Amino acid sequence: MSTTFTIDTATSRANPTPAPMKRLTVPAIRASKGKGGDPLVMLTAYTVRTAQLLDPHCDMLLVGDSLGQVVYGLPSTIPVTLEMMAAHGAAVVRGSYHAVVVIDMPFGSYEASPEKAFESAAYLLKQTGAAAVKLEGGTAMAPTVRFLSERGIPVVGHVGLTPQAVNALGGYGARGRSTAESEKIVADGVAIAEAGAFALVIEGVVEPIAIELTRKVACPTIGIGASVQCDGQVLVTEDMLGLFERTARFVKKYDDLGGRISAAAATYAAEVRSRAFPGAEQIYAPKD
């Protein structure tokens, strides 16, 4: 049974009445390639409230398996489950009205066969109401991308630094520094695009690879540690808000939310301990 689609606006904190906005579509994202418009904006979201705040500014919201590290404190994305992705995906769909919502397929949910991938992707879309799934991998995953696309499941590809393959890659360093690896990443991206992906994330590669792929593929490219010449950009929201001290080189921090939260908590703690809080404004006085 689906966990989405019904918006209860009675509780204003969780579900404020949304401003009417027409949701973007997968065909609109695909068709933006080469039109000379603004680059596509994509950020990650894992909760209703984050989705509500980001939605008016984004073309796509990614429910990334990065939630394993960001939300659950796991050492990598490997332990993330379909059920975790479905729960957070449903929350993001409930909190958004404009952006195309894309959900990461977690490690082990799609690699075995195209049929297994379809089963997992169908589960995610049914449980959440999201528009598309994202999967990692290159040429080997092209048949799976084609299988899903031909059966009505829109797919975003992901090449270059693929976090689910961190054990095989040996870490999170930039990819494509050798000629052989560079050529493989380009071939991977082209294969995924030609298989039917409507967008392609390019992560953590030396810039010429991202530029070449952006020119070669017919779908929009979304860079993360790639190039400003990609057709769009994505970051993990918590990274760009400054919630974590350690981030990748390609992250630009647009705020110091971590510092501001810590300062607010310190002020609250001090007022509680000094009995300055709660004050008269926060206490219910008896009626006369």
How many whole angstroms separate alpha carbon 160 and alpha carbon 184? 9
In degrees, rounded to 5, the angle at the alpha carbon of residue 28 between the alpha carbons of residues 22 and 33 is: 145
**Can you read off the two tokens belonging to residue 117?**
């991938």
Q: Which 3 state secondary structure label does DSSP give 276?
A: coil
How many whole angstroms separate alpha carbon 246 and alpha carbon 120? 33
Q: Which 3 state secondary structure label does DSSP give 282?
A: helix
Query: Rounded to whole angstroms, what are the CA distances from 34 to 21, 139, 215?
Result: 25, 24, 10
Of 119, 136, 194, 203, the catalytic one is 203
Beta strands (DSSP E) in the chain are: 40-44, 60-63, 100-104, 132-134, 155-160, 199-203, 221-224, 232-235
Annotation says 207 is catalytic: no
> Which residues are the active-site residues?
203
